[in-house]
Amino acid sequence: MIVLNALVQGIMLGGLFAMAALGLSIAFGVLRVVNLAHGEIMTLGAYLAAIVLQSFGLNVWISLLVVVPLMGFVGYWLQRLVLQRALRLSELAPLLVTFGIAIVIPNVLIELFTNNKKSIPTGNLAVQSITVVDGITVGVLPLMTLIVAVLLIVATQLFLARTSLGRYMRAAADDSDTLRLMGVDYRRVYAFAMALAIGIAALAGVFFGMRQGGVTPFDGQLLVLFAFEAVIIGGLGSLWGTLAGGVVLGVAQTLAGLVSPELPLLVGNLVFIAILVFRPTGIVQSKVAV
């Protein structure tokens, strides 16, 4: 029963990893941009939620209505003003730009808020749980995180398949040159894709902060590792692959935690390396444009 409970907890943790990886998968699938600042953007989203909560006394869920659109707006103009120019220089230039952003964000946060944890209060939600059977208990917040992650993937898939902007994003992922010949402003398409990716990253950052009780400036360094591992385990550019990769990573870490509290990170990395060696295309072999 202990192992079964660990499996359930790993699936719940996988929901958080999947949500963290979804924005990264969109950015790579549509823009072919490896966003090294993804974890720091998640951290920034969590900090913005904490600031909104402290400044206006809003509910944490209402704060998402401020944080996610604001970060999406930042993502739109980040793509239009910075990354788009970098893409014209070389494929390596956006990587260097996001690396620079990853260095700047935590240092700015330290200057403004020190290195102390910034709390994101959730009230009783953090300790509420549901007993499935004797020996298996599911936390309400982790369960909500998993449900939100699945709904986000479904909504993103429907958006890409059913809307004109989503179809433009799929076309940009497959053949951006043809999209330009059709007279579509590909720069706007790329910008909206990055806005979507960063908005989702900010949302994932807030859920991470809720689960941890707060966030620190350098949490992004570990978050981006989990996101990258989930994306690659699931399959590059695959939306449902992010969920599969997140669950595999989450289960590996929770099972390792039964042996020793020092093993989860190591075992997660070993699983990631094993996938790279034996199945480099990932578990799910489909592109974000499908």
Residues 244-261 pLDDT 10s: 999 999 999 999 999 988
Q: What is the CATH number of the domain that holds 124?
A: 1.10.3470
Model confidence at 108: pLDDT above 80: yes
| CA dist 63 → 124, 199, 216 (Å) | 18, 13, 19
Instruction: Return the sign of the alpha-carbon dihedral for residues 247, 286, 226, 70.
Output: negative
Query: Any idea which of 60-69, 113-122, 168-177 has the lowest mean pLDDT?
Result: 168-177
**Is residue 251, in this structure, part of any structural domain at all?**
yes
Average pLDDT, rounded, for the chain: 89
In the predicted model, is pLDDT for residue 11 greater than 60?
A: yes
pLDDT at position 286 is 54
Per the structure, the complete domain to which residue 13 belongs is given by 2-278
CB 80 within 8 A of CB 191: yes
Establish if 284 belongs to a structural domain.
no
- Name the domain count of the chain: 1
pLDDT for residue 171 is more than 90:
no
14 inside domain: yes
Beta-strand relationship, 118-119 and 214-215 = antiparallel
